[in-house]
Amino acid sequence: MYNKIDWNALRDKAYKCAKAHGWHEKRYNDKHFLMLIVTEIAEAVNADRKNRYADVAKFKEWQGNSIPLSEETRKRRFNEDFDAYIKDTVEDEFADVVIRCLDLAGLLGIDLTSLDDLLKQEDKLLEMSNIQHVDFGEQALELVEIVVDDDKLSTTILATIFCTYLWTQKLNIDILWYIEQKLRYNETREYRHGKKY
């Protein structure tokens, strides 16, 4: 059952984090950002091929520990556990797909409130969807086709988030939880995450 989400708040958080880490110092064209979204979809396919799924139980095992620790130690431990049990998994790559969309929506000032109206029909849409009837690679290609469709960019972003959300629900992945963890992780990473751009 879908619960109301403040998609614009998530958008702002993702954009603010990306900007603080140097991802918007140079203005790339929209196709650059769309290709980054496609790359995350491809990385999800690769993670699935390698059977790399998150081990949330192990990740949460230490995170719920009530031992008093310094903020620095807690942050370091969170990152170590994220690297060990979540990073580069299917769930992590799905979170990256949505975060890339949220970041681009933030850059372009796209309002995401209409996602709530669409997702209120989640149960009905999941029932009608053919997601469970195609394999992972086929479903990924369908998502890529949405990203590269020549429709209005705001429609592309909304449709990509919407379809990723539905797909992850079919896979019993709590995508919002993974997005929150990944944003928390990204906030602690080095400038441009040590990458070229």
Inter-residue contact 100 to 33 (CB < 8 Å): yes
Q: What is the pLDDT of residue 64?
A: 60
Which tokens is 27 given? 């203005």
- The two tokens of residue 95 are 């979170």
Query: Where does residue 80 rank: exposed (0-12), middle (13-18), buried (19+ CB within 10 A)?
Result: exposed
- Which of 179, 4, 13 minimizes the C-alpha distance to 103? 13
Beta strands of the chain (E only): which ranges? Answer: none
* CA dist list (Å): 75 to 4, 65, 82, 182: 29, 13, 10, 13
Sign of the torsion formed by the C-alpha atoms of 196, 158, 94 and 138: negative
pLDDT value at residue 65: 63
Check the CA dihedral 156-161-164-169 and report its sign: negative
- Roughly what angle, to the nearest 10 degrees, separates helices 153-170 and 90-108? 160
pLDDT at 82: 96
Q: Do 16 and 106 touch, CB atoms closer than 8 A?
A: yes
Q: Are 177 and 92 in contact (CB under 8 A)?
A: no
DSSP 192: G
pLDDT at 74: 82
C-beta separation of 186 from 21 below 8 A: yes
| pLDDT value at residue 122 | 64
The tally of CA atoms less than 13 A away on the side-chain side of residue 129 is 21
Mean pLDDT by 10 residues, the chain (197 residues): 85 94 84 95 98 94 69 87 97 98 96 87 61 80 90 91 91 95 90 61
Output the pLDDT for position 126. Answer: 59
